[in-house]
Amino acid sequence: MKIKELFDIQGKRFFITGGHTGVGRMIAEGIVQNGGSVSICGRRSALVQKTSQDLLCTGFTADITTDEGIKRCVDIVGDIDVLINCAGTSFAGQFDEYSEYDWDKTIGINLTAPFLLTQAFLPHLKGTKEQPAVIINIGSTEAVVAAGGSAYGYNASKAALMHMPFKLQENLAKQYINWNTLNLGPFDTELLSFLDQSPDNDNSHIKEHNPQKRIGTKNEVIGPIIYLSSKAGQYIKGRTIEVSGGITAYLGNYMTKGNYLDWHTKQWMRIESRTYPYKWKRAKPEDPKGLFDIGKDDLCLCNSNKKYKHCHGEHLWK
Amino acid sequence: MEIEHLFSVEGKVALITGASRGIGKMIASQLQENGAKVYIASHPMDEEENIQTAKELQCHSLTVDVTNVDSIKQLVRDLEE
């Protein structure tokens, strides 16, 4: 079979949570470029708007940690071929100060939301024996090593995400749905820039500890996504693929210092030392309030191909 | 990047041992079809079948005993030529 046919995703409908930024945006771009139709959702309306305009995809705001948010996703997006659970967050703090709120917030977005979204989208994932529907969780190398500072909730959520399809695959296989996880290493994203502590913010600290001496590129995440979404990868079920430049095989503890966001004060904190007791200080003066912005609830931008009944917001393309 | 480029194997040189039949043959055939330069290597005992497969797939046949270091070194020399 020719490569073009083997990896073909033309006409497939993708829904990418957190597709407005970071790795989600990279994926959305690759899918659109190769003829897939894409819907994205995120919390920050300005970014959702920008990405949907840039990529000519459908974008809407939703908070997937709420029942209404999940319902909104299903109502707007409807039937899909591929669900990509990409929305994620991280918070790191000292163990004795790591609160229930920190834990719940991280687990809620990274773990509970993919579970509930999968449940909610089951009637809308129409797989056949020849062409199974696909769910891809965006996991992390942090699922198998504890390297990126003291992000207790993040590590636990990503480890659980990797395990989730093991049991559920049994049920999903009957409906011809493949559920796999991609454990990503460092890619050039907003989340990574929080961890970076190089003087010129060029990720050199992170690159230095990668066997490839670099972080991942856009094509290197799009490739595995297309592979799992097409004929080429449809025999892969309930498994995890690591896309990290070999970082976990090479060295577990590759990030020693970093910047973290404190949910309570909404301020950047910097870990100066990983040796206990951790030394903390405020890292960046700017107010990261934007990160908590749920956005205009009715924002929904549609591309020209499809009309959505729940679009009350602007229609940018006619 | 477009799929044809992202997953392209065109012009790549592929060496597959145990490709006169089975999964090895499937791999060889797909790589050949997509523009790679394919070499299939079999144990000297199976050379006849290997040549047959190479003819069928229009790729190149070589021999190697993968349990023998000298034979592996010879294969590398054969490939370099």
Of residues A259 and A79, more confidence is placed in A79
Tokens (6 digits) for A215? 């972080």
Cα–Cα distance for residue pair B80/B76, rounded to 1 Å: 6
Mean pLDDT in chain A?
A: 78
Helices (H), chain B: 3-6, 22-33, 47-57, 69-80
Distance, CA of A175 to CA of A191 (rounded, Å): 35
User: Pick from A151, A140, A78: which is nearest to A302 by CA?
Assistant: A78
Q: What is the pLDDT of residues A74-112, one digit of tens each?
A: 999 999 999 999 998 877 666 777 778 878 888 999 999
The widest CA-to-CA distance across chain B, in whole angstroms, is 45
How far apart CA B66 and CA B74 sit, in angstroms, is 11
Q: Who wins on pLDDT, B34 or A269?
A: B34
Nearest to A2 among B2, B6, B33 (CB): B33
What residues of B are in the A interface, CB distance below 8 Å? 1-4, 6-9, 30, 33-34
The reported pLDDT for the residue numbered A254 is 45
Query: What is the Cα–Cα distance from A28 to A155, expressed in whole angstroms?
Result: 25
The interface predicted TM-score (ipTM) is 0.86
Q: Which of A130-144, A212-226, A277-291 has the lowest mean pLDDT?
A: A277-291
Which has the closest alpha carbon to A129: A242, A237, A24? Answer: A237
B81: three-class secondary structure by DSSP: coil
Smallest Cβ–Cβ distance between B7 and the set A3, A30, A33 belongs to A3
HEC profile for chain A?
A: CCHHHHCCCCCCEEEEECCCCHHHHHHHHHHHHCCCEEEEEECCHHHHHHHHHHHCCEEEECCCCCHHHHHHHHHHHCCECEEEECCCCCCCCCHHHCCHHHHHHHHHHHHHHHHHHHHHHHHHECCCCCCCEEEEEEEEHHHCCCCCCCCHHHHHHHHHHHHHHHHHHHHHHHCCEEEEEEEECCECCHHHHHHCCCCCCCCHHHHHCCCCCCCECHHHHHHHHHHHHCHHHCCCCCCEEEECCCHHHHCCCCCCCEEEEECCCCEEEEEEECCCCCEEEECCCCCHHHHHCCCCCCCEECCCCCCCCCCCCCCCCC
Element (H, E) at B13: strand B13-17
Closest residue by Cα to residue A78 from A233, A309, A234: A309
Total residues found in chain A within this entry: 318
Token pair, residue A291, equals 């990160």
* Per-residue model confidence as pLDDT tens digits over A124-154: 998 999 999 999 999 998 888 766 556 788 8
Strands A58-61 and A13-17: unpaired
The amino acid at A26: M
B interface test, pick of A1, A2, A3 with most B CB neighbours within 10 Å: A3
What is the identity of the amino acid at A91?
A: F
Q: Do residue B7 and residue A9 have CB atoms under 8 angstroms apart?
A: no
| Percent residues over pLDDT 90 in chain A | 47
The pLDDT score that the predictor gives to residue A280 is 44
Task: For A221, list phi and psi in degrees, rounded to 5.
Answer: -100, -30
Question: What is the C-alpha separation between B48 and B46, in angstroms, rounded?
Answer: 6
Taking an 8 Å cut-off on Cβ atoms, the answer to whether B3 and A2 are in contact is no
Of A75-79, A192-196, B20-24, which range is least confident? A192-196
pLDDT for the residue numbered A293:
41
**Strands of A133-140's sheet in order across:** A240-243, A177-184, A133-140, A82-85, A13-17, A37-42, A58-61, A300-301
- Kind of pairing between the strands at A133-140 and A258-262: unpaired
From residue B22, alpha-carbon distances to A62, B17, B25, B39, B61 in Å are 49, 11, 5, 16, 16
pLDDT at site A267: 53
Say which of B2, B8, B33 has its CB closest to residue A33. B2
State the pLDDT at residue A175: 86
A222 contacts B7? CB cut-off 8 A: no
**Average pLDDT of the residues of chain B:** 95
What is the CATH number assigned to the segment(s) B10-80? 3.40.50.720
- Measure the CA–CA gap between A315 and A60, rounded to whole angstroms: 11
Q: Which of A26-35, A48-57, A257-266, A295-304 is predicted least confidently?
A: A295-304
Could you read off the pLDDT of A17-65 as tens digits, one per residue? 999 999 999 999 999 999 999 999 998 888 898 999 999 999 999 989 9
pLDDT at residue number A253:
45
The pLDDT, as a whole number, for residue A205 is 63
Say how far apart CA A186 and CA A296 lie, in whole Å. 31
Judge whether A289 is closer than 8 Å to chain B, CB to CB.
no
pTM here? 0.83
| CATH architecture, domain A3-301 | 3-Layer(aba) Sandwich (3.40)
CB contact under 8 A, A222 and B3: no
How far apart CA A187 and CA A219 sit, in angstroms, is 11
**How far off is chain B from A19, nearest CA to CA, in Å?**
18
From A223's Cα to the closest Cα of chain B, the distance in A is: 7
Question: Which residues in chain A are closer than 8 Å to B6, comparing Cβ atoms?
Answer: 7, 219, 222-223, 226
Distance between start and end Cα atoms, chain A: 38
- Confidence category of residue A168, pLDDT binned at 50, 70, 90: confident
